[in-house]
Amino acid sequence: MGEYMSIITGVFLAFLFIMIVRKCMDVFLPERSNNIVRYVVWAMYFTFSSASNLTNIVRPIVLISTNILFIFTLAMLDRKASVKIACFFSFIVCAVWMLVEVGAVIVVEMYGINFVENRDAVCFVSLLIMLLLVVALDKTWKGPKYGEIPLKYFLMILSIPLISIFLTNRIFLIATHHHEYNDFAVISSAFLLMMNYIIFEVYTWMSRDAELKSLNKLYGQQLELCSRQAAEQEQLYMEIKRTRHDMKSHLASLLGMVESGEKDEAVNYIQQLLADGLGRSSEEISKSGNIVIDSLVNYKYSIAKKEGIAFEASTFVPSVLPFKSEHLVIILGNLLENAFDACMKVQPKGRFIRLDMNYEKNMLKISIKNSCIYENRRDRYGRFFSTKHDAEHHGIGLASIKQAVSGYDGDVIIDDKGNQFGVDVIMYGKEESENPQ
Cβ contact 384:377 at 8 Å: yes
Q: Any idea what the CATH number is for the domain that residue 340 is in?
A: 3.30.565.10
Which residues does residue 342 pair with via DSSP β-bridges, in sequence order?
none
Quick one: pLDDT band at residue 371, thresholds 50, 70, 90?
very high
Q: Which amino acid is at 148?
A: E
Domain boundary among 219, 242, 264: 219
- Asked if 165 and 289 sit in the same domain, the reply is no
Mean of all residue pLDDT scores within the chain: 77
- Asked if 96 and 184 sit in the same domain, the reply is yes
- Asked if 215 and 287 sit in the same domain, the reply is no
- Asked if 175 and 96 sit in the same domain, the reply is yes
- Asked if 320 and 206 sit in the same domain, the reply is no
Residues 264-308 have pLDDT tens digits of: 888 888 888 777 665 555 567 888 888 888 888 888 898 898 889
- How many other CB atoms are there within 10 angstroms of residue 262's CB atom? 14
Which residues does residue 354 pair with via DSSP β-bridges, in sequence order?
312, 369
Mean pLDDT of 153-166: 76
Whether the pLDDT of residue 356 is over 50: the answer is yes
Cβ contact 266:254 at 8 Å: yes
- Asked if 204 and 290 sit in the same domain, the reply is no
Question: Given the DSSP bridges, would you call strands 363-371 and 420-428 parallel, antiparallel or unpaired?
Answer: antiparallel
- Asked if 43 and 169 sit in the same domain, the reply is yes
Give a yes or no: residue 245 inside a domain: no
Give a yes or no: residue 239 inside a domain: no
Give a yes or no: residue 262 inside a domain: no
Give a yes or no: residue 391 inside a domain: yes
Whether the pLDDT of residue 368 is over 90: the answer is yes
Whether the pLDDT of residue 84 is over 70: the answer is yes
How many domains is the chain built from?
2
- Asked if 189 and 328 sit in the same domain, the reply is no
Percent of the chain whose pLDDT exceeds 70: 74
Give a yes or no: residue 241 inside a domain: no
The pLDDT, as a whole number, for residue 310 is 94
Domain boundary among 203, 219, 235: 219
Domain boundary among 185, 219, 253: 219
- Asked if 207 and 294 sit in the same domain, the reply is no
The pLDDT, as a whole number, for residue 435 is 46
Give a yes or no: residue 73 inside a domain: yes
40 to 20, 36, 63, 285: CA distances (angstroms) = 18, 8, 19, 50
- Can you tell me whether residue 415 is helix, strand or coil? strand
73 to 19, 70, 83, 127, 180: CA distances (angstroms) = 16, 5, 9, 22, 40
Give a yes or no: residue 266 inside a domain: no
Give a yes or no: residue 250 inside a domain: no
Quick one: pLDDT band at residue 434, thresholds 50, 70, 90?
very low
- Can you tell me whether residue 434 is helix, strand or coil? coil
Determine the structural domain holding residue 290 and report its residue range: 283-437
- Asked if 196 and 338 sit in the same domain, the reply is no
- Measured between alpha carbons, how far is 301 from 285 in angstroms, rounded to an integer? 7
pTM of the complete model beyond 0.75: no
- Asked if 159 and 31 sit in the same domain, the reply is yes
- Asked if 210 and 288 sit in the same domain, the reply is no
